[in-house]
């Protein structure tokens, strides 16, 4: 079976921006909404593809996300980039070390690998005094070439996030492109013929490092996946109200959204 025919199951673990929604100290309509879809943890997804169970990013709420959605097994972690909202849950990967009695392989580009080694130096430096209280991770550097996790091929999608080159990922006919303000033409070619796209759409107001909703809708039309979900959302966008005004085939993602692609 080719990768494009492999069924992919996805759970949006976190659909929120870096501050999460509700935000500390904000009592706006969305931050106080009783609609559970307005409660957004930091950005992460879980993907099941063939025999592989893959987490994209380790958000600060990793433990809560994995308990809530019964993520009992992990074969690999992929990192989009090193920003705090995408990496600060890394220590919680220890639990998967205990469950599998093995290291967790983590795939990231060179800049992200260097940042992870610096930010979480305790995890990567030998420490004879606390050998059991740190995550056991194997960092694998990737570039823009497709790579394999087990028997599955994953295609990195180079994206620009403000000035920073980051990665999206394509799994068969599903792609995840969070944290971007520009998608180069060569990357658009990698996003053809998608059933489902998850794309950054921060808020209505423009931002130097993220698509706002208007730009994301325009980009979604260009990419033309059958269905596009927007993620990395601030408190500016109430779920129900925003969804009503979106074009057919587009919707806001929400925490816990499950997709079969």
Of 260, 261, 170, 182, the residue nearest 222 (C-alpha) = 182
Shortest CB 238 distance to Zn ion, Å: 10
Q: Which stretch binds Zn ion (CB under 5 A): 20-28, 70-78, 118-126, 240-248?
A: 20-28
What tokens were used for 104?
Answer: 């967790």
Sequence-ordered list of residues with C-beta below 8 angstroms from that of 52, at least 6 positions apart, any chain: 75, 76, 149, 150, 151, 152
Alpha-carbon distance of 145 to 126, in angstroms, equals: 31
Query: How far apart are CB 3 and Zn ion at their closest, in Å?
Result: 27
Residue 148 has φ and ψ, to the nearest 5°, of: -110, 140
Q: Hey, which residues between 186 and 225 contact Zn ion (CB under 5 A)?
A: none
Nearer to Zn ion, 85 or 255 (CB): 85
State yes or no: residue 31 binds Zn ion (CB under 5 A).
yes
Using CA atoms, how far residue 56 sits from 4, 32, 81, 90, 162, in Å, is 19, 28, 10, 11, 20
Candidates 4, 26, 222, 226; binder of Zn ion (CB under 5 A) is 26
Least distance (Å) from Zn ion to the CB of residue 29?
8
- 49-108 positions binding Zn ion, by CB under 5 A: 83, 85
Alpha carbon distance, N-terminus to C-terminus of the chain: 15
Tell me the two tokens of residue 223.
């990419």
Binding range to Zn ion, per CB under 5 A, among 58-66, 123-131, 168-176, 234-242 = 234-242
> Min. distance of Cβ 22 from Zn ion in angstroms?
6
Binding residues vs Zn ion (CB under 5 A): 26, 28, 31, 83, 85, 179, 235
């Amino acid at each position: 079976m080719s990768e494009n025919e492999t069924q992919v199951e996805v759970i949006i673990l976190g659909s929120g921006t870096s501050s999460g929604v509700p935000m500390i100290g904000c009592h706006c309509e969305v931050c106080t909404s009783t609609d559970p879809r307005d409660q957004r943890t930091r950005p992460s997804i879980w993907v099941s593809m063939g025999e592989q169970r893959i987490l994209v990013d380790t958000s600060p709420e990793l433990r809560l996300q994995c308990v809530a959605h019964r993520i009992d097994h992990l074969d690999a972690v992929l990192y989009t980039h090193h920003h705090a909202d995408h990496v600060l849950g890394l220590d919680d990967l220890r639990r998967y070390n205990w469950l599998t009695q093995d290291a967790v392989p983590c795939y990231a580009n060179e800049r992200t690998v260097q940042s992870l080694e610096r930010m979480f130096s305790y995890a990567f430096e030998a420490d004879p005094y606390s050998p059991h209280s740190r995550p056991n991770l194997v960092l694998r550097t990737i570039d823009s070439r497709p790579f394999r996790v087990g028997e599955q091929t994953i295609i990195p999608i180079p994206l620009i996030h403000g000035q920073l080159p980051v990665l999206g990922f394509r799994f068969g006919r599903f792609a995840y492109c969070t944290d971007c303000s520009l998608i180069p033409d060569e990357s658009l070619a990698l996003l053809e013929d998608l059933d489902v796209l998850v794309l950054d759409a921060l808020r209505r107001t423009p931002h130097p490092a993220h698509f706002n909703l208007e730009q994301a809708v325009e980009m979604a039309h260009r990419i033309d996946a059958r269905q596009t979900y927007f993620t990395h959302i601030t408190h500016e966008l109430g779920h129900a109200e925003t969804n009503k005004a979106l074009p057919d085939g587009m919707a806001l993602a929400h925490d816990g959204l499950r997709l079969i692609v």
